[in-house]
Structure 1
Amino acid sequence: MSNRTETHPARWRLWSMALSLAALLPTAASSADHAGQLYLDYAEVPLITRHAGAHQWMVVQSYMRVHVDIAQLKAANPGMRVFMYFETAGAYDLPPSEEPWPSGVSYRWVKANRPEWIVKDRAGRPITFWGGELYLYDVGNKAYQDEWARRAIDYAKTGGFDGVFADDVNMGESFRSTGWSGTSPKYPTDLSWTQATESFLNNVAPKLRAAGIALLPNVASAWNSDRATQVRWAKIAGAYAREHYQSWPNGDAPGEYDPNKGLLGGADWAWMSALHRDIVAARVPFYAFPHAGGWQAIDKMRYTRASYLLWYDPALAGGYAYATGGGPHTGQDPYNAAWNFDLGAPTGPAVQRSSGVWARSFARGTVVVDSNTKTATVTP
């Protein structure tokens, strides 16, 4: 998923993701109306129906329709929307029997039928990314864009999904120089890839919208990225998703796993908050999901959820999920009162109490976030 500056297993990377458009907006103004979940691993299939009534939206893999009756799931909770995960920038080299996996377009099909869609390095070798297992596709190629949109619409409609979660909608500076196995003559600069990605959105978003399918791009950007571009992308798509919201998934040292570490604070927290506010100010729903943080990471759950609520606009909705799939706690139920609380509707905007400390009041309580100490309190 997005914003990778640290090393992650490639398959974990592919399973990261969250969602939506106007179809996702709830009718009530509760602070829990945006709560949802991402179930993107085989081990999580049993969890999909466990808390359906508590979730307003879900993101699942397209193949999960084989294991879960999507129509029955939605019928049990009529207000819920279910979204399908679809990779945009590449694919694993998988046999045909595994084509339902997350890649929007099968690598072996592309290799056999449209090899020009595979991005090559200066020596003519296919470029790989995120650990070397995914092959890079030419997101700026209109024919590829058209085929991706066609398959996304077809898979979503036949599978009973309300929308598509598009992963790896990445800005060049967060993706090209950190994850690619080689240099592409066609995309030699960060800006060239950013422009190609924007052309993808400009072509694909109207097609999905016309088909009645919501689009949510999971956008990766570096800390020095210009926020104006991200706001523009959010407007094009009608929604914006941010993986690793106010946090990283692991501890601070290689090989360390402490679920309460990796929280963003200080200037990093302020940057993420400013991005959140910019997109909300543009009247676009903002979706946030800290990823692979550990099913008992209580402090992380509370800190990231409280941070999200500071800028949450009930008129726009948006979404928050605490996802654990892909990491050491895959298959563990992430449902927890530390993030599944409901304080009712906000009674006013967030207020800065001091440098790095913000608070917001709701009908049934208050959240206070101290980005200096990376802590949060929720007072009913």
Structure 2
Amino acid sequence: MRLMKGGSAAGTALLGLLLLAACGTGRQEPPAQTPFVRTALVLYGSFGRSHPGDCFPLSEAERFHLLETGPDNHSTTRWCEVRANRGLHAFQELKRRSPGMRILLYYMGPGQLIVSRFDRLSQEEWSWIKAHHGRGSGDRWAALGASTGEYLRALPYPVERAMHLGNPNWQAHWLRTRYERAWVRQEGGHDGRHSDGIFLDGMQYGVSWQNGWRLEGCFDEASWQWSCSTQDHPDPYYDPSTGRYRNELWQQHYGEFLRRAVPYFRERGLELGLNAWRIAHPAQIALYEELGLLAMEECGFLCWRVPEVREWEEKLRVMAQAQNYRILSVNAAPGSADVPEPNPSEGLARMDRSYQGRTGWQWLWFALGSYWLAHAPERGNAYFLFTLWNFRDQYWFEEYDPARLHLGRPLGPAVRAEAGLWWRPFERGFVAVNANRDPRTLRVAGGGRARLLAHENFRTPQAAPPVNLDAGVELAGYQGAVLLGE
């Protein structure tokens, strides 16, 4: 599907047909069997703390279409129902309640290795790698500092060690051990039974943590603080003669690994997802299309900051054109990372706060509108996630309920009225988004009358303000709106 910029005679004729269809079906009931938004839930660490009872209910999790979480979270008491019944297997219970839910289990990809003092398996593996495939080995799997020759930790996440992504023997070891831990032996609390696949973190299309590596010995585990600031760079992917990272080599090894990993897991009945951070490079997109995987864009339409129009429009284009792979669009309100950690009594009240001039609800509608402009429901090419809690908590919003909010099928691609101002026709109305900082007026010739829905009124659309799309409707800066046809 291509995003339509309009202007041609053929485009105008097509637009007229779409508008007639949109306005003529305004009273149709939404198709109950198809979601208007495919929702994703990602939970790490001590999740669920802002929910009542300081835990996450399986009864809420079951409503999402996709869950991505740790391989040991089948038994964690962060689930309310597991806390009440310690014999309950959370993944099995979610599958019983919602058979169509997809569950993917988190592992760090082979570009880094997580070594945690709380995880015996990771400690043993790192010690074995250093002894047999470390410094001085002819088959070295660990990356070393290009200047110091020392093992490296990531500055933002000291549990991560730098590895040689392109070593084929390390790749083979990584594939075999991750598969066997969860899906064969259920080792170290990992349990892949009742799950659908694996999710790889640290898989951005460029060298990880550039200029963000320090010597392994510079971190004190007891105090959990850096004791020195000596920095270095992973030797396979850094050229000291130029002072530049070798992203092209990383990308080559990245493709080699994924062309090996996706079939490996697919042959075992498992799908592969990864955290790409951003999806933008043509060769990266071509690789994903070739392999048919799930790619999380952790920096989605909202990336913890106010979006820029050019970048936002590029994300629309990338999602709309995704054919054979799926995007998990993660959206976090601008400034939400600076808000203090949630407490159990806060709950959804966090959505009422102001984040750079707009509430959490307003940012949710902006992100949802952006998703609806580009999502292709016939291909199921995208999932949606919105958070003010990072990945420690999320909520099922009423906006996700197709019985409450559903415009039916899209009648064509999104239309660009002007830079940052887009709309799209659906069977029962329109979606419109203004990604500019300042208000814009949207006019849709032949669009007729509609009800302007927002968080405050979508449950009672008959009470929503009427607008005339021919005359124009004003959209505030960074506003996403649903226009229910009359």
Is 1:283 the counterpart of 2:338? The answer is: no
Where does residue 252 of structure 1 map in the other structure? none
Matching residue of 1:258: none
Give, in angstroms, the shift of residue 221 of structure 1. 4.5
Please give the residue correspondences for 1:145-184 in structure 2 after superposition, counting only pairs within 5 Å: 145-157=171-183, 158-160=191-193, 161-172=195-206, 175=208, 177-181=210-214, 182-184=232-234
Instruction: Note if contact 1:365-1:379 (Cα within 8 Å) is conserved in structure 2.
Output: yes
Corresponding position of 2:372: 309
Structure 1: gaps spanning 5 or more residues: 1-26, 250-261
1:104/1:148 contact within 8 Å kept = no
AA partner of residue 196 (structure 1):
H
Deviations 1:167-188 (A, max 9, x none): 1112226x35353442233212
Q: Which has the larger radius of gyration?
A: 2
Which AA in structure 2 matches 1:185?
D
Residue of structure 2 equivalent to 1:111: 130
Which of 370, 375, 380 aligns to 2:479? It is 375
Whether the 8 Å contact between 1:322 and 1:339 is mirrored in structure 2 is no
Query: Residues 198 and 166 (structure 1 numbering): CA distance in 2 closer, same or farther, change over 3 Å?
Result: same
Distance (Å, rounded) in 1 between the aligned partners of 2:132 and 2:364: 45
Say whether the 8 Å CA contact 1:242–1:289 is kept in structure 2. Answer: yes
Report the equivalent of 2:252.
Answer: 195
Amino acid at match of 2:201: D
Per-residue displacement from partner, 1:113-155 (whole Å, max 9, x unpaired)? 5433221112211223251511112111112212222233334
Q: Distance in 2 between matches of 1:130 and 1:305?
A: 34
The aligned amino acid for 1:268 is E
Equivalent position of 1:82 in the other structure: 103
The AA in structure 1 aligned to 2:253 is A
Equivalent residue for 1:236, pick from 273, 277, 291: 291
TM-aligned CA distance change 1:246 to 1:164, over 3 Å = same
Q: Which residue in 2 is equivalent to 1:51?
A: 60
Structure 1 residue corresponding to 2:154, chosen from 104, 108, 129: 129
The answer on whether the counterparts of 2:64 and 2:396 sit within 8 Å (CA) in structure 1 is no
1:77 to 1:339, Cα distance in 2 relative to 1, 3 A = closer
> Under a length normalisation based on structure 1, what TM-score does the superposition of the two structures give?
0.77
CA contact (8 A) 2:200 2:273 kept: yes
Change (3 A) 1:301 1:113: farther
Structure 1 residue 240 displacement after superposition: 2.1
SS in 2 for 1:194: helix
- Give the corresponding residue for 2:277: 220
Distance in 2, matches of 1:273 and 1:138, equals 34
Q: What's the offset of the Cα at 1:104?
A: 12
CA distance in 2, matches of 1:301, 1:127: 39
Task: Please report how far the alpha carbon of residue 92 of structure 1 lies from its aligned counterpart in structure 2 after TM superposition.
Answer: 3.5
Residue identity matched to 2:47: A
| Long gaps (5+) in structure 2 | 1-31, 50-54, 77-88, 135-139, 184-190, 215-231, 239-245, 337-349, 352-359, 438-477
How far residue 30 of structure 1 moved from its aligned partner, in angstroms, is: 2.9
**2:35 aligned residue (30, 36, 43):** 30
Q: Secondary structure at the match of 2:48?
A: helix
Distance in structure 2 (CA, Å) of the matches to 1:197 and 1:138: 11
Residue 216 of structure 1 aligns to which amino acid in structure 2?
G
1:351 counterpart letter in structure 2: V
Residue aligning to 2:43: 39
Cα distance between partner residues in 2 of 1:221 and 1:36: 17
CA RMSD of aligned residues (A): 2.9
1: CA distance, partners of 2:263 / 2:383 = 22
Residues 104, 94 of structure 1: CA spacing in aligned structure 2 closer, same or farther, 3 A cutoff? closer
The 3 A distance-change label for structure 1 pair 56 and 306 is same
Which one is further off, 210-219 or 309-318?
309-318
| Residues 128, 348 of structure 1: alpha-carbon distance in 2 compared, 3 angstrom cutoff | same
Same amino acid, percent of matched pairs: 19
Structure 1 pair 109–121 and aligned structure 2 pair: CA distance change class (3 A) = same
Offset at residue 356 of structure 1 (A): 1.7
Query: Are positions 1:143 and 2:200 aligned together?
Result: no
Measure, in 1, the Cα distance between the counterparts of 2:124 and 2:263.
19
